[in-house]
Structure 1
Amino acid sequence: MEWRDEGILLAVRPHGETSAIVEAFCAEHGRHAGVVLGGVSRRMRPFLQPGVLAQLGWRARIDEHLGHYTVEPIRNRAAVALGDRLSLAGIGAVTALLSAVLPERAPHPRFYDQTNALLDLLGQGDVWPLAYLQWEMALLEELGFGLDLSACAVTGAKEGLAYVSPRTGRAVSRDGAGTYAPRLLPLPPVLRGEGEADAAAIGEALQVTEHFLKERLLPEGRELPAARDRLLSTLARQD
């Protein structure tokens, strides 16, 4: 078995004395891992980093095997992010979250393009946080758990939307919530593309997406990657 594909490196861990297991989000092959011979060498370490865009060649005797990668870097985003706290936190959150929630070897070509577009915005601190929030919502949509914030799930009203049902991910109006309001999640306007998109508003909205990422995409009892918490802390300091 053999193929070539473009991919975003998600994780790199040592394998034996000289090699590394590299996990990548590939355009046509989804989240896929392989061994890179000599991957811990001084020559290869700088471009075997999460966030790097690379041309990958994968080969194995049969498809079920881990297989081996060859890696040719296209864009070293890790190097670009050095010295930029938000960019480093952003790369860490994106790659760790994809590694945690994407099904193995299932292609998601449209979402792959969305992820590349997000990572290409690194360094643009005025637009990146909102783009990241929209990316998390797109991730939920891609994996079948998109939020429906167009109208109240109870009354059908499109005005006065103030809450999100933690069970269904649908919007609820103030009138529709009634006595159940304390059990619902707040609906920050920025989640609907309205109001201010400052760090405080985006941080509040990411608390909502966090609930659904954890409850819908992770096995019970498993926590979201710590890298995402570091991103939220970095965004709070940006405010």
Structure 2
Amino acid sequence: MASLTATAIVCAVRAHGEHGAILRALTEEAGLVGGYVRGGRSTRLRPILIPGNLVAIELRARTEEQLASATAELLASRAPLLAEPLAAAAIDWVTSLTAATLPESQPYPALYAALSAVLDAIGAASAARQWAAALARYELLLLAELGFGLNLEECVVTSSTNELAFVSPKSGGAVSLAAAAGYEERLFRLPGFLPGHDANPAMDDVIDGLIITGHFLDRDVLDGRNRDLLTARERLVDRLKRAVA
């Protein structure tokens, strides 16, 4: 990618030098891209380079290996959502997760669409339950896109598709009610919304879904690394649990 013009979701911004910033953003066709924004820490550009914002970016580099120079124009701001602590924590987590886990310059159009949907849901939903379910589905999709998909369509023990009630923390496969007998405490409870069977889940079900995706993100994608990122997610889930109480 010597040059690129695209619509992108800002995922991470890091200070570089006295006035500049390194931008990482997700595009639909080019995937996660990065570039140096001159003056990125200025009062004019700071409101634009906020994770979650939708921007028009232009990247230019002399070679494929060189960090591109970048410009960004605001298309849609999600900065007002940052005044709400729960929404701010969700935006911080989902954009940071994306920036930390996706390889650069590989297209993930499904993830781009899903991330857009999560951010739109956070802005439009009247209750955290509505966007938290979308967040759990995004995490499930990210696992699948990175090669760690869960099999929630049939029992990992019997291959039955009936009464799927649990998820194995080892295999990532669904377990039927009959096959789980006597082992329930060692398994995750499978909420119906995660495999797509419940469009309006209760908050308790959403929390169960986030526990499942969090376990596999930690084990398979983050591999216990990036403790700060995992801690941020733990705080988010704790806040959602308090919203249930």
TM-score over 0.5 for the pair: yes
Q: Deviations over 1:74-109 (max 9, x none)?
A: 1111x2303222321221111011112111221112
Q: How does 1:1-239 map onto structure 2 within 5 Å?
A: 1-77=2-78, 79-123=79-123, 124-126=125-127, 127-178=130-181, 180-192=183-195, 193-194=197-198, 197-219=201-223, 221-223=225-227, 224-239=229-244
Secondary structure of residue in 2 paired with 1:45: coil
Q: For residue 175 of structure 1, report the CA deviation from its aligned partner.
A: 2.5
Secondary structure of residue in 2 paired with 1:47: coil
Deviates further, 137-146 or 64-73: 137-146
Deviates further, 194-203 or 51-60: 194-203
Q: Which amino acid aligns with 1:143?
A: L
Deviates further, 81-90 or 171-180: 171-180
Q: Which amino acid aligns with 1:32?
A: V
Identity %: 40
Contact 2:81 2:88 in 1 (8 A): yes
Contact 1:50 1:91 in 2 (8 A): yes
Q: Runs of 4+ in structure 1 displaced over 6 angstroms?
A: none
Query: CA distance change for structure 1 residues 233 and 181 in 2, over 3 Å: closer, same or farther?
Result: closer
Gaps of 5+ in 2: none
TM-score (norm 2): 0.88
Q: For residue 219 of structure 1, report the CA deviation from its aligned partner.
A: 3.8
Gaps of 5+ in 1: none
Contact 1:96 1:225 in 2 (8 A): no
Distance (Å, rounded) in 2 between the aligned partners of 1:161 and 1:135: 21
Deviates further, 2-11 or 160-169: 160-169
TM-score (norm 1): 0.90
Q: For residue 197 of structure 1, report the CA deviation from its aligned partner.
A: 1.9
